[in-house]
Amino acid sequence: MWILRRLLRYSVMLAALALCLSSGRGEAQPWQYLGQDSGRFRVIFCDQDAGTVPELWEVLRTRIPVVEQRLQLSLADTVSFLITPSPEEWRRLTAGTPLWANGLARPEIGIAILKSPRFNARYGRSLGVTAVHEYVHLLVKSGAPSAEIPRWLDEGLAQVLAEQMDYRDDALIGRAAVSGRLFGLRGIEGLMGMNDEAARQGYAEAAIAVGWMEKRWGMAGISNLIHAVRQGQPFDEAFRTIFGLTTGAFEADYLDYVTKHYRISFLGDVETWVASAFVVLVLAAGVAVFLRRRRILQRWKHEESRVREPADGSAPPYTINYTVVRGRLQERMEGASPGDEPPGDEPPAGN
């Protein structure tokens, strides 16, 4: 019976893979795909990406057994890793997937679809890490299509087991904690509809939640939870049975933990401090210019007032003091004889 199930699974997987690799309109496929098998894994790639395959094989060989041992799970069927050679091929095979995604897991057919490092420069050096991330999704969900595994646990496990956390995520969570913009575990359910920045925060929160669970109950406790849910037990019930805590209470504790712990990391956020220093410098420069212009205007007003109102009370230079002129004219008129002509222009001379 198990042989028939395995043959049926292989048939479905190969049919789905053939459907992915063929054009939806029956046109000739421009990419020539190659394949390498190791029994447990199959890597499908184009000749242009052949240089990335050896490193990917090394990651699969060394990292995946560790992941399986930590979760106490394994997949008996062959898992395929398909490296898409171009953005157009990625969009064709993963229609509806957000642009920021680096990989996509298809647990129902045992395939992980990855972006080629040639057009995914931002994460090109972590092709193997992305493969491990997607393998965790396959490991958790394959063979249990009805399992109620929330997105925060699924993505958090993939992040933690693929070791994808870094300081930038801590700084991002620190800013969100300070500004009160944390999503919370329920908010992460809408992850696939978020933009790039919000998705980064969602992944980081999921990883922090799973990391905190591991500190409290160990990976063995998380593994027990995954096994219980895969066996058909409702997630909330399994969580309460294993950890003695409701999911609502856990989320409240998680938010309190993040707010207290990651608010401190805001102090070490280099990006924020650089941006703040830039703003302070711009404001300081603006204030300096304002004060300089104000001093210049005050100096101009002072100089103008000195010209209009001399400090010693004398008449300003190059002006006429009419009071003095009238007084002198009056003195000349009083000292003149009756027959004298008033001062002024001389009468014209006669012929």
Residue 2, beta-bridge partner list = none
The mean predicted confidence, pLDDT, of the chain is 80
- 111 vs 128: CA distance, rounded Å: 15
CA distances to 42, 117, 135 from 126, in Å? 19, 8, 14
- SS3 string of 74-113? CCCCCEEEEEECCHHHHHHHCCCCCCCCCEEEECCCCEEE
Give pLDDT tens digits for 82-136. Answer: 999 999 999 999 998 998 999 999 999 999 999 999 998 765 558 999 999 999 9
125 versus 140: which is more confidently predicted? 140
Given this model, what pLDDT does residue 302 score? 72
pLDDT at 24 over 80: no
- 155 vs 130: CA distance, rounded Å: 12
Handedness of CA 161, 164, 168, 169 (dihedral sign): negative
Given this model, what pLDDT does residue 322 score? 57
Can you give the pTM of this predicted structure?
A: 0.70
Question: What percent of the chain lies above the pLDDT cut of 70?
Answer: 70
pLDDT at 18 over 70: no
Beta-strand ranges (E) seen in the chain are 33-37, 41-46, 79-84, 103-106, 111-115
Given this model, what pLDDT does residue 161 score? 96
Three-state secondary structure call for residue 46: strand
Mean pLDDT for 303-326 is 58
Question: What percent of the chain lies above the pLDDT cut of 90?
Answer: 51
Given this model, what pLDDT does residue 164 score? 84
Task: Give the pLDDT band of residue 273 (cuts 50, 70, 90).
Answer: very low
Give pLDDT tens digits for 204-260. Answer: 999 999 999 999 999 999 999 999 999 999 999 999 999 999 999 999 999 999 988
Contact 42, 81 (CB under 8 A): yes
- 98 vs 190: CA distance, rounded Å: 12
pLDDT at 143 over 80: yes
9 versus 134: which is more confidently predicted? 134
Given this model, what pLDDT does residue 300 score? 74
Both tokens assigned to 239: 């969580």
Task: Give the pLDDT band of residue 178 (cuts 50, 70, 90).
Answer: confident
Given this model, what pLDDT does residue 341 score? 54
Give pLDDT tens digits for 192-211. Answer: 999 988 999 999 999 999 99
Given this model, what pLDDT does residue 35 score? 94
pLDDT at 41 over 80: yes
pLDDT at 27 over 50: no
pLDDT at 272 over 80: no
Angle at 226 between CA 222 and CA 232, to 5 degrees: 145
Given this model, what pLDDT does residue 297 score? 77
Given this model, what pLDDT does residue 268 score? 47
